[in-house]
Structure 1
Amino acid sequence: MMATKLLRPIGLCVALVVPALVLRFSGAEPAPLIGLVLFGMAVVAASFVLAWAAEAAQVDISGGLAIAILAVIAVLPEYAVDLYFAYTAGSNPDYVAYAAANMTGSNRLLLGLGWSLVVLIGLAIAKKRTGKPVPELTLDSPYRVELGFLAIASVVAFVIPVTGQISLLLGFALLGFFVFYLWKASRAEAGEPDLAGPAATIGALPRRPRRILVVALFAFVAAVILACAEPFAHNLIAAGTQLGIDRFLLVQWLAPLASEAPEFIVAILFAVRGNGGAAIGTLISSKVNQWTLLVGSLPIAYLLGGGGGALHLDARQVEEFLLTATQTLLGVTALLALRFPRWAAWTLLGLFAAQFALPGQTARYVLCAIYAAIALAALIRNRRHILPTLAAPFRRAPEHDPAVTVTAGR
């Protein structure tokens, strides 16, 4: 009976993945629309399996580490695309702009669209369950550790627009900070996760088969995402090019939308099922990954590709990094009290949408100023939480895993 419960959902996902893998390794080049559908279908199916494996993994390891592993696997497409651009930039300077555009686009997409969407879905689900409006999501105190890592990384990120480059020294420092983040996540104790569906079936297996299956599923998903991410992004860009969309915009927005798809799908799945902790945790962890592991890897990939000791940015790329850094600052300051209010979700979503209606250098600097002004107001309002948040990554790990609940506020 248990085997049947697992074979049906996992077998269906595998069946959806097989056509894309056959297409990928046969070397065939389908029409962009057909390729987009097949590879997109594989990415979606793999995202479901990833969500089940990550939830079940919390039986054996801390929820924070499980979410961190999930986030790393989910953003593999982003790493593959962005590091390719950075590596190629070592011999072709034109690709420096693409590397910066892809990284900043994916970051703003993750926070402006991802965070906002997950919170709004979570609040809608809470309203449906309670029968009354719920103004904010409230995170339990252990989540301050992840927020502390993101806060420090977001402050350090301002070095990039100020200096106009991503140096090897900064890259290695960010990579070291990411390793420390993983170590910190691994120190938290495993709790008793509330599992449902296939994840519950996996979690109920005996220890040895459960661990083998979870590792196998993680490996399977990583292989599928790595195999399908590039052709998915390629077909998406090809389809966009046929429609006459600017290539820089394709690299900055459509390619990141494709590469961010797995983590978006996983987070939305968690939110729809009422598991807001895993939803928000996945996206916060992904943001930490992008500001540390991804940004730190760019100058190394650039060097390996034949470039120098620093990835130099032009004026447009500096503006993009500044806009991304100020947006992240607003996200962090709004969460300092471990409460994600509805107004913050709509503000982040509205400002994210505004950048498309207000293109140009002046508009980008105006948006930076708006982000910074709102962040300053949130910082003043939540000032008593600043030091505890910055100190959280260096304190002893909490005894229980973080979770998120929905409250009606004080």
Structure 2
Amino acid sequence: MFAKLIRPLSLCGAFALPALVIRATGGETAPWLALLLFGAAVVAASFVLAWAAEAAQVDISGGLAIALLALIAVLPEYVVDLYFAYTAGQNPEFVAYAAANMTGSNRLLLGLGWSTVVLVSLAVAARRGGRRVRELVLDPEHRTELGFLAIASVVAFVVPVTGQITLLFGLALLGFFGFYLWRVSRAESEEPELVGPASVIGALSPAVRRPLVAGLFVFAAVVILLCAEPFAHALIDTGTQLGVDQFLLVQWLAPLASEAPEFIVAILFALRGNGSAAIGTLISSKVNQWTLLVGSLPLAYLVGGGSGTLVLDARQVEEFLLTATQTLLGVAALLALRFPRWAAWTLLGLFAVQFVLPGQEARYALCVVYGVIALAALVRNRAHIVPTLLAPFRRSSESAEDLVSTR
């Protein structure tokens, strides 16, 4: 049975090898070639990561497996953003880059990632069922992750209100993320429905499966960490040659490169007809970005020689406020654990508008639009607000009972 894994794993290794050789030897290539080679390595690592995360659900809870997948997939974003925050300790100009990269990646994840995954999932469901599907229904256990995101999204408004990210606030977010990992690890594991290489791994004996899954996680993490940064640089260099503004490159193209692994993994889940796991992966990514990433910025700033408090300028406050209101809309639309088609198109459309209308007034106008639609969604899903906010502090069985009672 193990022989069935040799071909897909060898293929992924072959795609990753050229980039790893270039990284190890310090070789230099043209930006377009580096973009191709390092991008191929990131894609290959994403496939391995998806197989490992699916197979891991045989031994651990699905929530913890998804959380580990999301954490590894978003590692490139941490590398880039923490580098900016660390450098800002000596060069204050990099504070703007750290804030821009963080807000850009968050809005990209929700505005483009969530929307695309939902639309792909609905298209796959419609093709299989032979009829139009209007909404993606999430599994009940995702209410816990959504609860953590709901709390984090409300707390996040402290940053634009105060205009800074303090060390104390950052440590509180890090503690909240630690609680999140502990909470999802306590959930009961269920027999997953595995396909492809993941099913082969899942059928192996525990003595073989567990070290193999751990090894695949490590391999994917190493490839992503080694290749994501040069992939981002190659993307930026290519954009610079094409005359794209540097701030926009840092805010959008670099996050697009660093978010690529989780996008690929989520789309793979969606194409297999597992839309709930796909959006669950991106919700988990949003949780760790909104807690672990934001919380780590002042710490990295302190280690780099800064005061420990990142003070944001007016532009960064606007960007953070826009990101917070977008997140609030995403949470409000999902409170009933149903992601309707209209919400996906709305998030995608509003995400696109910011490129057409990039000015300050447009950003504040978008904040108002996000807020108004979020308020309407909150009113519509008001019966699910309290169960969602309490879900992180309740046992899975209690959350499921609340879900049934609100339907």
TM range (shorter): over 0.9
Give the alignment of 1:261-280 within 5 angstroms.
261-280=260-279
Q: Is the 8 A contact 2:387 2:399 kept in 1?
A: no
Q: Deviations over 1:28-59 (max 9, x none)?
A: 11110000000000000000000000000000
**d(CA) in 2 for partners of 1:300 and 1:244?**
34
Give the alignment of 1:168-317 within 5 angstroms.
168-317=167-316
Secondary structure of 2:305's match?
A: coil
Q: Residue type of the partner of 1:278?
A: A
Secondary structure of 2:137's match?
A: strand
Map of 1:14 onto structure 2? 13
Secondary structure of 1:137's match?
A: strand
Alpha-carbon offset, residue 367 of structure 1: 0.3
Map of 2:3 onto structure 1? 4
Alpha-carbon offset, residue 397 of structure 1: 3.0
Q: Is the 8 A contact 2:391 2:399 kept in 1?
A: no
**d(CA) in 2 for partners of 1:35 and 1:212?**
32
Q: Is the 8 A contact 2:125 2:133 kept in 1?
A: yes
**d(CA) in 1 for partners of 2:204 and 2:68?**
21
Map of 1:407 onto structure 2? none
Q: Is the 8 A contact 1:189 1:400 kept in 2?
A: no
1:320 pairs with 2:322: no
**d(CA) in 2 for partners of 1:27 and 1:238?**
17
**d(CA) in 2 for partners of 1:241 and 1:127?**
41
Q: Is the 8 A contact 2:137 2:276 kept in 1?
A: no
Q: Residue type of the partner of 2:48?
A: V
Secondary structure of 2:2's match?
A: helix
Q: Is the 8 A contact 1:184 1:397 kept in 2?
A: no
**d(CA) in 1 for partners of 2:193 and 2:383?**
32
Alpha-carbon offset, residue 147 of structure 1: 0.5
1:115 pairs with 2:136: no
Q: Deviations over 1:347-401 (max 9, x none)?
A: 0000000000001100000000000000000011111111111001000134999
Secondary structure of 1:141's match?
A: coil
Q: Deviations over 1:219-249 (max 9, x none)?
A: 0111111100110001100000000100000
Q: Residue type of the partner of 2:27?
A: A
Q: Is the 8 A contact 1:171 1:300 kept in 2?
A: yes
1:102 pairs with 2:101: yes
TM-score norm. by structure 1 comes to 0.97
Q: Residue type of the partner of 1:263?
A: E
1:77 pairs with 2:76: yes
Map of 2:356 onto structure 1? 357
Alpha-carbon offset, residue 337 of structure 1: 0.9
Alpha-carbon offset, residue 283 of structure 1: 0.1
Give the alignment of 1:51-66 within 5 angstroms.
51-66=50-65
1:157 pairs with 2:151: no
Q: Is the 8 A contact 1:62 1:188 kept in 2?
A: yes
Alpha-carbon offset, residue 143 of structure 1: 1.4
Q: Deviations over 1:288-315 (max 9, x none)?
A: 0000000000000000000002001000
**d(CA) in 2 for partners of 1:165 and 1:61?**
38
TM-score norm. by structure 2 comes to 0.97
Q: Deviations over 1:315-357 (max 9, x none)?
A: 0000000000000000000011111000000000000000000
Q: Residue type of the partner of 2:255?
A: P
**d(CA) in 2 for partners of 1:201 and 1:379?**
43
Secondary structure of 1:225's match?
A: helix
Q: Deviations over 1:68-114 (max 9, x none)?
A: 00000000000000000000000001100000000000000000000
Q: How much is the aligned-residue C-alpha RMSD, in angstroms?
A: 1.2
1:145 pairs with 2:137: no
Map of 2:404 onto structure 1? none
Answer with 260-269 or 381-390: which moved more: 381-390
Residues 362 and 399 (structure 1 numbering): CA distance in 2 closer, same or farther, change over 3 Å? closer
Residues 400 and 53 (structure 1 numbering): CA distance in 2 closer, same or farther, change over 3 Å? farther
Q: Is the 8 A contact 1:189 1:399 kept in 2?
A: no
Uncovered stretches (5+) of structure 2, i.e. residues with no partner: 401-406
